[in-house]
Amino acid sequence: MNQFARVAIAFFRRDFHIATSYKFNFVFQLMSGFFAVAMFYFLSRFVDSEASRAMVSRFNTDYFSFVLIGIAGAGILHTGLTGFAASLRAGMTEGSLEMTFSCPIRPMWILLFPCIWAFFFDALKILVVISFGTLFFGADLRHANLSSGLTVMLVTVMSYSVFGIISGSIILVLKKGDPINAAFSVASMLIGGAFFPIELLPSWLAGIAKVLPMTYAYDAMRKTLLLGASVSEVRLELIILGGFSIVGLPLAIGIANMAIAKSKRDGTLGIF
């Protein structure tokens, strides 16, 4: 086993043991999606069924099934956007970040690998959310193409990791919250199509939505999980998301390396 794999597994094991040592918190986080699913289920009952089906007709589903994928998709975007910054903040507040950066491994690995557990755990939470919606509230996912859906989710996480890495870099240098996560979280909820179709938006907002990668992520997830679309049938969305990753990830990693170098020069790695 090479060093890359050994270090990745070591970080995963560390974060797994930390998370599961707080058993109540671990279970509560895993099950917390139930409340969001229940809230939107009862909200969907206030929406006229014919009107709601007309809104989401291109996905051949009802509003609750539509929004369930939005809830799951929002979890994926949250992972990509916040995972890196959250792991850095935890290291800063615990006082372990500076010691970790003194280990004889590549500094970039220290930024990236703590997110492996976050990605894995958030994937479990998404699975729980979809299971709740399907088993307890009757969401219609009988046509779901799980392999295509998983491919879309992986590509989505990679594309939004661009913003997450840049966000973590800002935290590393400024030691404060950054506007990137807030802006993209709001955009995701409001105009990205998480909780309602973009066709309901004013034309100028819908135009903005069409240039945001999250819009294509939600569309691809719904096509694969509601309509059973194959990878080839969502290739346009995957090309857009993949192209964003190809262009953005090298830039984000370059920014992160500069942030790490600056923090080391200034001696501020351990300051929060």
- Has residue 164 got a pLDDT over 80? yes
The answer to whether 116 and 21 are in contact (CB under 8 A) is no
Burial (CB count <10 Å: 0-12, 13-18, 19+), residue 49: exposed
The tokens describing 4, both together, are 């890359």
Give the per-residue pLDDT at 235.
93
The CA angle 138-32-178, to the nearest 5 degrees, is 120
- The pTM of the full predicted model, rounded to 2 decimals, is 0.83
Give the per-residue pLDDT at 223.
93
Give the per-residue pLDDT at 178.
62
Q: 3-state DSSP call for residue 253? A: helix
The answer to whether 207 and 47 are in contact (CB under 8 A) is no
pLDDT tens digits along 82-123:
777 777 777 777 767 767 777 777 777 777 787 788 888 888
The confidence band for 267, taking pLDDT boundaries of 50, 70 and 90, is confident
Q: Which residue has the higher pLDDT, 75 or 67?
A: 67
